[in-house]
C-alpha cells in the first residue's frame, strides 16, 4: 500500500522524540542512581531533561529540514545516538571530546574488541529499524519558500520550548549540572555532536605549522660509562592491582623478586592514552599542557638533541606524536614472531630481536648512552583475556567477552589481574635483558602506566572519563623503577632514600624531568623540583625526603 505523505514537521518532532526518550536510557539510569528522579519533583525534572534534548534536536533538524538533507541527517543522528547509547549503557562511559579522540585513534584490532552482539542489537533497535521507517516515509515538502518557512518554524518552536523549560527548571537544572557534571556528557546525541565539533575545531584552534622547540641547550654530562635506560610505557594499568604496591593478590612476584622501587602514590596526566602520553613526555605540567595553542617538542626530542641514541618500539596503536622525529618501529603486526597471532602481539615481542634493532642505530650515539622506549599493549580492554597467554593465567575463571557487563565482576577482575601478572613477567624478562647488557652500560628501567581503568565499580568500565569527574582508579598509576648496581654507583642514587619516599605523591608532571635527570642531560628545560629522583641522587648534596617544593 502506498503510504500517505506527511509534513517534515511531524518527522522532525517524532524523530527528535525517539532519540530523546529511547536514546537516553543511560541518562535516566544515572539520574536515578543519583536520586534525581525521586518523587514528583524528580519526575518533573526528568520531563524537563527530556524536553531539553527534544527541543535542541528540533532546532538542529529544523536547520536541515530540506528535501535533500533532512532524511540523511536524521538517519545519521539515529546511528550516532544508537552507538553512543550502547557504550554509555554497557560501559558507563560518557561521550566527551577525549572519548571522541580515543575513538578516532583506535585501530582495527582495538575496535574489534569492542564489537559485540549487544552493539548490533542497539544499532538495530535504536537506529536501523527507525532509519528504515524514516527512509520509506514519503514527505510533502512543497516549494522552496515553504521549506524555508517550515525550517524556521521548527527552529523557532525548539527555541521557545527550550527557553521555557530552562527558565521553569533553572534552579534544579543549574544545581544538578554543577554537582553532577557527567550529566551534560550523557545528553544523547547532543554530547556526541558537541564533542565531535570540539575535536574537529582543534586543528583550527592550534597552530600546527610551527613546532615549538624545547631544550635547545641540551647536552650530556660526560659519564664514566654509557647508560642504558629502558622506559616501559604501561597501558591501562591501575596501581592498586600491583602486589608490589600492597594488592593482596600476587600479581607482581617477579618485580618483587627483583626488589624494585615503587612510587605508590603516582597520578596520571589524563585518563586515556591520547591525553596522557603527549602530556607526560612534555616539559609542560598538566595544567599548562591542556591550554597549549601550538605543537611542542617533547622528551624524546631533547634526549636526541643531547646526543643520546633513542629508539621507540610500539606494541600499541601508536605513540600519539611523541616519537615522530626519532627512530621508531611498530612491532604489533610482526607475524613472524612466536608472540604474535591474528595481527596482535603479546608484549614480549618487543624483546624479540631488540639487540639487532639497537645495532642498527648510530654507534657513536649508542656509545654515549641509549634511551629505549617500549610501549605496551599491557592491559588494554575490554578484551583483557587476550592480554595474557594461556600458560600464564593464574586467576580463573576469567571473563572472555568484550561485553564486560555480561560477566560477573570477579571474572572481569580475574582477566584484568592476569594481564597485570603478564606485565610483571614481561618486566621481569626486560630486567633480565638489561642485566645482560651490564658489561657495556649502566642499566636501569622506569615503568609508568599512561592511565588506570574502571572494572565495574559503580557500573563503570574502561577509562576515558573527563579528568575532573573520573574515579581515582582511572588516574592512579604504577611507577616502578629498577636500577643496576653500576647505575646506582654512577649516579649516586640512594635506594634507601627512594624506599623511604615510596608514598610521596608524584604525577606525570615529573616524568620529563625525571628521565632527563636519570640520564644526566643538562638543559634549561630541566626542573629539579619535578625530578622524582633528584632528592635521592648524590648530586643533590643530601637525601631529603618530602614532596617537591
Q: Is residue 548 part of a domain?
A: no
Assess whether 462 and 488 both reside in one domain. Answer: yes
pLDDT band with cut points at 50, 70 and 90 for residue 549? very low
Has residue 204 got a pLDDT over 70? no
**Predicted local confidence at residue 208, as pLDDT:** 64
Judge if 231 and 158 occupy the same domain.
no
Dihedral over alpha carbons 237, 243, 246, 247 (to 10 degrees): 70
Residue where the block lists cell 589524563: 270
The answer on 242 and 163 residing in a single domain is no
Q: Are residue 288 and residue 193 in the same domain, yes or no?
A: no
By mean pLDDT, which of 273-287, 307-321, 336-350 is the weakest? 336-350
Model confidence at 333, in pLDDT bands (50, 70, 90)?
Answer: low
At 460-502, the pLDDT tens digits run: 999 999 999 999 999 999 999 999 999 999 999 999 999 999 9
Confidence of residue 31 (pLDDT cuts 50, 70, 90): very high
**How far apart are the C-alpha atoms of 401 and 89, rounded to whole Å?**
16
Q: Which residue has the higher pLDDT, 106 or 526?
A: 526
545 lies in a domain? no
Domain's final residue, options 204, 221, 256: 204
Neighbour tally for 517: CB within 10 Å? 24
Give residue 148's domain range: 8-204
Q: Identify whether residues 248 and 183 lie together within a single domain.
A: no
pLDDT of residue 77 exceeding 50, the answer is yes
β-sheet bridge partners, residue 370: 228, 309
Give residue 545's pLDDT.
Answer: 34
Average predicted confidence (pLDDT) for the chain = 90
Given phi > 0 = left and psi -120 to 50 = alpha, else beta, which region is 44?
alpha
pLDDT of residue 203: 67
For residue 223, pLDDT over 90 is answered with no
DSSP assignment of 240-279 equals GG-GGGT-SS---HHHHHTT-EEEEEEE-S-SSHHHHHHH
Closest CA to 380 of 87, 115, 113: 113
Q: Looking at 20-29, 220-229, 350-359, 527-536, which range is the least confident one?
A: 220-229
Helix or strand holding residue 443 (H, E): strand 442-449
The CATH number linked to 487 is 3.40.720.10
With a CB cutoff of 8 Å and minimum separation 6, the contacts of 458 are: 92, 471
The pLDDT of residue 180:
87
Task: Give the model's pLDDT for residue 293.
Answer: 66
Helices 8-22/39-63 angle, 10° precision: 140
Mean pLDDT over residues 13-42, rounded?
Answer: 92
> Does 509 share its domain with 425?
yes
Report how many domains make up the chain: 2
Quote the DSSP letter at residue 67.
T
Look at residue 37 and tell me if it is in a domain: yes
Stretch 219-224: mean pLDDT: 82
Q: Which of 151, 176, 204 is the last residue of a domain?
A: 204
Q: What percent of the chain has pLDDT over 70?
A: 95
Q: What percent of the chain has pLDDT over 90?
A: 70
Bridge partners for 267 per DSSP? 476, 507
Q: How many residues does the chain have?
A: 549
Q: How confident is the model at residue 523 (pLDDT cuts 50, 70, 90)?
A: very high
Is residue 51 within 8 A of residue 45, CB to CB? The reply is no
36 and 159 inside one domain: yes
182 is a domain residue: yes
- Which pTM does this prediction carry? 0.88
Mean pLDDT of 419-423: 98
* Mean pLDDT, residues 439-458: 96
In a domain, 2, yes or no: no
**Structure-block grid coordinates of residue 7:** 509534513
Q: What is the pLDDT, as a whole number, of residue 247? A: 97
How many other β-carbons are positioned within 10 Å of the β-carbon of residue 318?
18
Model confidence pLDDT, tens digit, residues 441-450: 999 999 999 9
Q: Examine the domain organization and report whether 14 and 40 are in the same domain.
A: yes
Grade residue 547 by pLDDT with cuts at 50, 70 and 90: very low
* 164 and 289 both lie in a single domain: no
Final residue belonging to a domain, choices 161, 187, 204: 204
Q: Which helix (H) or strand (E) holds 108?
A: helix 108-114
Asked whether residue 148 falls in the same domain as residue 16, the answer is yes
Domain contains 547:
no
Answer yes or no: is 243 within a domain.
yes
Q: Give yes or no: residues 120 and 226 share one domain.
A: no
Strand-pair partners of 341? 344
Contact criterion met (CB below 8 Å) for 239 and 471: no
Does residue 334 fall inside a structural domain? yes
Q: Is residue 151 located within the same domain as residue 286?
A: no
Amino acid at each position: 500500500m502506498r503510504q500517505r505523505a506527511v509534513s517534515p514537521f511531524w518527522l522532525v518532532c517524532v524523530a527528535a522524540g525517539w532519540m530523546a526518550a529511547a536514546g537516553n536510557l543511560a541518562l535516566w539510569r544515572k539520574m536515578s542512581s543519583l536520586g534525581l528522579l525521586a518523587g514528583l519533583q524528580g519526575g518533573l525534572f526528568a520531563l524537563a531533561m527530556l524536553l531539553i534534548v527534544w527541543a535542541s534536536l528540533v532546532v538542529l533538524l529544523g536547520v536541515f529540514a530540506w528535501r535533500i538533507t533532512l532524511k540523511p541527517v536524521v538517519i545519521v543522528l539515529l546511528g550516532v545516538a544508537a552507538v553512543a547509547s550502547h557504550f554509555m549503557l554497557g560501559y558507563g562511559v560518557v561521550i566527551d571530546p577525549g572519548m571522541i579522540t580515543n575513538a578516532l585513534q583506535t585501530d582495527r584490532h582495538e575496535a574489534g574488541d569492542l564489537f559485540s552482539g549487544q552493539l548490533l542489537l542497539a544499532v538495530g533497535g535504536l537506529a536501523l529499524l527507525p532509519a528504515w521507517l524514516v527512509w520509506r516515509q514519503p514527505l510533502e515538502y512543497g516549494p522552496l519558500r515553504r521549506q524555508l518557512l517550515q525550517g524556521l518554524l521548527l527552529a523557532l518552536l525548539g527555541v521557545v520550548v527550550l527557553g521555557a523549560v530552562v527558565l521553569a527548571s533553572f534552579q534544579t537544572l543549574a544545581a544538578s549540572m554543577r554537582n553532577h557534571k557527567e550529566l551534560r556528557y550523557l545528553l544523547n546525541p547532543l554530547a556526541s555532536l558537541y564533542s565531535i565539533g570540539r575535536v574537529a575545531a582543534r586543528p583550527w584552534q592550534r597552530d600546527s605549522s610551527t613546532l615549538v622547540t624545547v631544550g635547545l641547550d641540551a647536552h650530556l654530562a660526560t659519564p664514566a660509562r654509557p647508560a642504558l635506560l629502558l622506559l616501559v610505557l604501561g597501558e591501562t594499568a591501575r596501581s592498586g592491582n600491583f602486589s608490589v604496591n600492597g594488592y593482596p593478590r600476587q600479581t607482581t612476584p617477579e618485580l618483587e623478586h627483583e626488589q624494585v622501587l615503587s612510587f605508590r602514590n603516582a597520578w596520571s596526566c589524563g585518563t586515556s592514552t591520547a591525553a596522557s602520553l603527549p602530556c607526560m613526555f612534555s616539559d609542560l605540567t598538566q595544567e599548562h599542557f591542556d591550554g597549549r595553542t601550538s605543537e611542542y617538542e617533547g622528551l624524546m626530542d631533547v634526549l636526541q638533541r643531547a646526543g643520546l641514541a633513542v629508539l621507540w618500539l610500539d606494541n600499541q596503536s601508536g605513540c600519539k606524536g611523541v616519537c615522530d622525529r626519532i627512530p621508531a618501529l611498530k612491532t604489533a603486526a610482526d607475524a613472524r614472531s612466536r608472540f604474535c597471532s591474528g595481527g596482535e602481539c603479546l608484549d614480549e615481542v618487543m624483546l624479540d630481536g631488540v639487540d639487532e634493532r639497537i645495532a642498527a642505530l648510530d654507534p657513536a650515539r649508542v656509545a654515549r648512552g641509549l634511551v629505549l622506549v617500549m610501549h605496551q599493549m599491557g592491559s588494554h580492554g575490554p578484551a583483557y583475556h587476550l592480554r595474557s597467554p594461556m600458560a600464564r593465567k593464574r586467576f580463573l575463571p576469567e571473563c572472555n567477552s568484550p561485553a564486560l557487563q555480561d560477566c560477573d565482576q570477579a571474572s572481569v577482575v580475574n582477566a584484568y589481574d592476569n594481564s597485570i601478572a603478564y606485565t610483571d613477567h614481561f618486566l621481569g624478562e626486560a630486567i633480565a635483558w638489561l642485566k645482560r647488557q651490564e658489561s657495556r652500560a649502566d642499566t636501569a628501567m622506569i615503568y609508568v602506566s599512561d592511565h588506570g581503568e574502571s572494572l565495574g565499580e559503580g557500573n563503570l568500565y574502561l577509562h576515558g572519563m573527563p579528568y575532573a569527574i573520573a574515579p581515582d582508579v582511572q588516574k592512579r598509576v604504577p611507577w616502578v623503577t629498577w636500577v643496576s648496581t653500576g647505575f646506582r654507583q654512577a649516579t649516586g642514587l640512594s635506594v634507601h632514600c627512594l624506599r623511604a619516599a615510596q608514598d610521596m605523591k608524584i604525577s606525570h608532571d615529573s616524568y620529563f624531568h625525571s628521565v632527563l635527570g636519570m640520564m644526566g642531560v643538562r638543559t634549561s628545560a630541566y626542573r629539579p623540583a619535578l625530578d622524582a629522583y633528584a632528592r635521592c641522587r648524590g648530586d643533590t648534596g643530601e637525601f631529603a625526603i618530602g614532596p617537591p617544593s
